[in-house]
Amino acid sequence: MPYSKETIKNLLETIETKPARELESEVLEFKEWITDSRRLYKMLAEYAVCFANNKGGTLILGIKDNVKTKEKALTGCWGYNISEIKSRIYESTDPRILVDVEEFPVPELNTVLLIVHIPSGVGVHTTTDGTAKIRIGKECKPMTGTMRQRRMVELGLIDVTAELRPELTLSDLSKIEIERLKSIIKTKKPDSTLLKLKEKEFLEQTGIIKNGHPTIAGILLIGKDEIIQEHIPAHEVIYLYMKNDIEYEFRRDYRKALLYVLDDISRNIEARGRLTTVKMGLFHFEIKDFPEFTYREAILNALLHRDYSQTGAVFIKHYPDRMEISNPGGFIAGITPKNILRQDSRPRNKHLAEILRKIGLIEKAGMGVKRMFYTQLASGKTEPSFQADEHNVRLIIRNGAIDEPFIKFIKENEQKGREIGLDELIILSVLRRQREIAITSAAETLQLDIHRTREILNQMIKRGFLEKSGVKKGLIYRLSGNLCKKLGESLSYIREKGIDEIRYPELILQYVKEYGEITNRQVRELLGVDKFKASRLLRKLVEDKKLKRKGYYAGDYKYVLH
């Protein structure tokens, strides 16, 4: 996302105490203006390529990056032509890069800076003389062959798993694994027409083979062990049952077909898991330490999104209190731990993903991660968490003590046909741990904008799940009294509510000081109370000569400071 002028203005203020180079980042660079046009346009083309080959970025021209104070650092730009700058960058890059250039006047210094916004590219970009660089940290590094391939994979321009192995035939596939594949389809998609096909056509239709030869995805899924090890040497999965952070009790290393690996790891996890029974009337619900859907989806994601062009194993570290699943290869460009809930699936290995969808092992785009979150929260546990850098992704699934009252509350709503959505579950789970939440924190947690977050919170108030209190920016949300009672927290609720009620007059007066007046309706919205409670509060403030009634307008009295 381009830096706004307001953001840049704030950044420039910090140059009073630190040089601009300390403010530079993966998406921001400061450069001094170059009067030699040949050198200037060469530098601009190289920075355009550098940023476009990663996430895009902003280049600010007219600033010395190694001195403090605006007076010394902001030397400005002159003799420029914005149209020519855009044109020269466009003509000097391949594929072409269209940048946006805007002026940034600095009146107090009687100078002008230029801001060059560079978009993330659509391929691997070079300058027209063949120079290819990529932004890594605060530097533009030469783009090696491996980096170029990784970039092409991230953009979906290369799919290793779709490649054919023309030297291999059907005899290189495992008959046992073919039967395992059919068994999965019978379980997941019993009405699938794939099951009616003869073997060769079945393998063609699933994508295991093309033109009579196995694809890399096909070999990964049902290839013979020796064929997998020879043709996909990067494939390795390691399962560890950990005693503690530095010792393991049990280890299995796999260089076998993915379908076998998934089943065998599942058996090992189940053998070491426990069940907790939650009783609710005549119904009994069994909750596993690690719900099967969650860990299987997590392992599949790691196998599906790993980078098969680089060495390194997929690790499943199984601790008594958590499971850590990691894979080589960072997130595909644009996906981060802070937005993963709202992203459509963009698998690094599209052909492998397509086969897994056909056989019913993975969800449609973007649903798998959401279902992992839902399964964990509905099981009375905390949501999964992601950690990532450019080389690895790690998913952590925690096995804490289950929240029985919370599970019963969810099941009760399900039985009455009033299912609780994922967004509501996330907010309720957070409020079980931290008592209250502001809308900005809720938006960050839900990975949504403020407007949509407010809609969700208001809907939860209507459903009787939440209450709100506070003024404008100080507005907070917490579990409602009725829900706290159901969840066994009525004493906690009364204590916190009591503290709030003591502050009600203060909050009303604060509102009037800020906005000049208040009505009964506004008191109800502010404090989340009914009209009778609002009337009593206003009447008491009038009696105490803190407020006075101004007049009757549109069916409501207005109150102002006394």
Are 133 and 195 members of one domain? no
pTM assigned to the model: 0.73
> Token match 């579950």: residue?
425
Answer whether residue 495 shows pLDDT above 50: no
Strand partners, 322: 398
- Containing structural domain, residue 527: 500-561
pLDDT at 406: 87
Are 262 and 184 members of one domain? yes
Are 181 and 323 members of one domain? yes
Which residues, at least 6 apart from 229, have a Cβ–Cβ distance to it below 8 Å? 235, 255
Is there a domain that residue 301 lies in? yes
pLDDT band for position 500 (cuts 50, 70, 90): low
The highest-confidence range among 96-100, 307-311, 494-498, by mean pLDDT, is: 96-100
pLDDT at 286: 84
Q: What is the average per-residue pLDDT within 530-543?
A: 88
Are 343 and 382 members of one domain? yes
Are 531 and 439 members of one domain? no
Are 175 and 129 members of one domain? no
Is there a domain that residue 150 lies in? no
Q: State CA 338 to chain mean position distance.
A: 4
Domain of residue 12, CATH code = 3.30.950.30
pLDDT at 329: 83
pLDDT at 330: 81
Are 379 and 480 members of one domain? no
pLDDT at 515: 76
Are 258 and 359 members of one domain? yes
Rounded (5°) CA angle 499-504-510: 125
Are 557 and 482 members of one domain? no
What's the number of domains the chain is made of? 4
Q: What percent of the chain has pLDDT over 90?
A: 57
Is there a domain that residue 410 lies in? no
Question: Do residues 431 and 478 touch, judged by C-beta distance below 8 A?
Answer: yes
Compute the distance between CA of residue 221 and CA of residue 227 in angstroms, rounded to an integer: 12
